C-alpha cells in the first residue's frame, strides 16, 4: 500500500485535531512528510508531542485561516520552500454550524460557505500549480461529509457547502487526470471530534446571525453524540487507502445503505416515463463517452460534448 508514497509531501488543512489529525497520522504511517495547518496553539503542541513520542519527523506547522487567500498563498510558498515540492493536498478544515435556513442571515451563509467551500477553493488555487509541477505520485483529497448526499432540516447551509465540495471534486477529478494527479472526494459521517463546538468560535465579522444564539449546554448535549463516532485515525487510514487506490469517492462509514437505496429509488421514480428524442440521446451519449475519456486522462473540450 505504501508504494511510491513514502517521501512525498502532503499539506493537510485543519491537521492538528479530529479527522485532519487522523489523516495526518495515517499519511505519516505511510512515510509521507507533512505540513499541517492549525489555528489553536495548544492543539499544535499536542500534535507535535504525538509525532515526537512516535519518533516521526515533526511536521511543518503553518498557522492558517483557510478563508484568508493571501495567507493560503503564503502557506503554499512556505511548504514548497521547506520541502522543495508538494505532492498531496488534503482540504479538510471546516465548521459544523447548524440552524434553519429560512432564518439564516447573509453572515450565516458567508461564514459557513466561506470556510467549507471557499477554504477548498483557496487550497486548490494556492497549491495546484505546485502539485502539477511536482513529480511522482500526487493527489488531492477534498473532505466533505455525508451531508454531501443527505440533507437535513437544521443543516441547510452546511449541506449546501458539502454538496458544493462534492460537485467541484467530482468534476476536478476529470481535470487532474491528464496531469497524472489523482483526486478523491471523502465523505465521513459521525466521527469522534470536537466539531460540534464550531458555533462557539464564530468570528466577530460574522456575528450578525439569523440563528438563535449559540447555547453551550445545548451544543454539549449535541456533542455527546460525537462520542459514539468513529475514531478519527480509522477515518484517516481509510482516506489513505482510498487515495492510494485513486478512488474517486471515499466513504468511511458503512451504515448508509438504506439512505443510498432511497436516493436511488426516488431519483429513478422522478424520471418521466417517456421516450427522449434521438437528438438529446446523442448529446447524452457524447457526454458519457467524454466523461470516460476524461477519467482515462484525456483533456475534454467543449466541442467534445456536441
Catalytic residue among 106, 109, 158, 174: 158
* Spatial contact of 166 and 185, defined as CB atoms under 8 Å apart: yes
- Is 201 known to be catalytic? no
User: b/e per residue, 26-46, with b = 16+ CB within 10 A?
Assistant: bbbbbebbbbbbbeeeebbee
User: Cα separation of 92 and 188, whole Å?
Assistant: 11
- Is 132 known to be catalytic? no
Catalytic residue among 132, 162, 233, 238: 162
Active site residues: 158, 162
Amino acid at each position: 500500500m505504501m508504494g511510491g508514497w513514502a517521501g512525498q509531501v502532503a499539506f493537510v488543512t485543519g491537521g492538528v485535531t479530529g479527522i485532519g489529525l487522523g489523516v495526518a497520522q495515517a499519511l505519516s504511517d505511510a512515510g509521507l512528510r507533512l505540513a499541517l495547518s492549525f489555528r489553536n496553539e495548544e492543539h499544535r503542541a499536542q500534535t507535535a508531542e504525538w509525532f515526537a513520542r512516535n519518533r516521526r519527523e515533526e511536521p511543518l506547522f503553518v498557522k492558517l485561516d483557510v478563508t484568508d487567500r493571501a495567507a493560503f498563498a503564503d502557506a503554499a510558498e512556505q511548504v514548497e520552500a521547506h520541502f522543495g515540492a508538494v505532492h498531496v493536498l488534503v482540504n479538510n478544515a471546516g465548521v459544523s454550524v447548524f440552524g434553519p435556513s429560512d432564518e439564516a442571515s447573509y453572515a450565516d451563509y458567508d461564514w459557513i460557505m466561506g470556510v467549507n467551500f471557499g477554504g477548498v477553493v483557496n487550497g486548490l488555487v494556492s497549491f495546484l500549480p505546485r502539485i502539477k509541477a511536482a513529480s511522482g505520485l500526487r493527489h488531492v483529497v477534498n473532505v466533505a461529509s455525508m451531508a454531501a448526499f443527505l440533507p437535513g432540516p437544521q443543516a441547510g447551509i452546511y449541506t449546501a457547502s458539502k454538496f458544493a465540495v462534492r460537485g467541484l471534486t467530482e468534476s476536478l477529478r476529470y481535470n487532474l487526470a491528464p496531469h497524472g494527479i489523482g483526486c478523491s472526494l471523502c465523505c465521513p459521517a459521525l466521527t469522534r471530534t470536537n466539531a460540534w463546538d464550531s458555533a462557539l468560535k464564530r468570528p466577530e465579522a460574522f456575528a450578525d446571525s439569523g440563528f438563535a444564539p449559540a447555547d453551550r449546554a445545548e451544543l454539549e448535549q449535541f456533542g455527546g453524540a460525537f462520542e459514539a463516532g468513529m475514531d478519527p485515525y480509522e477515518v484517516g487510514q481509510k482516506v489513505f487507502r482510498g487515495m492510494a487506490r485513486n478512488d474517486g469517492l471515499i466513504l468511511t462509514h458503512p451504515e448508509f445503505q438504506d439512505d443510498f437505496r432511497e436516493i436511488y429509488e426516488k431519483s429513478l421514480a422522478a424520471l418521466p416515463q417517456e421516450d427522449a428524442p434521438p437528438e438529446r440521446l446523442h448529446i447524452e451519449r457524447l457526454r458519457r463517452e467524454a466523461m470516460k475519456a476524461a477519467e482515462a486522462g484525456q483533456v475534454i473540450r467543449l466541442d467534445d460534448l456536441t
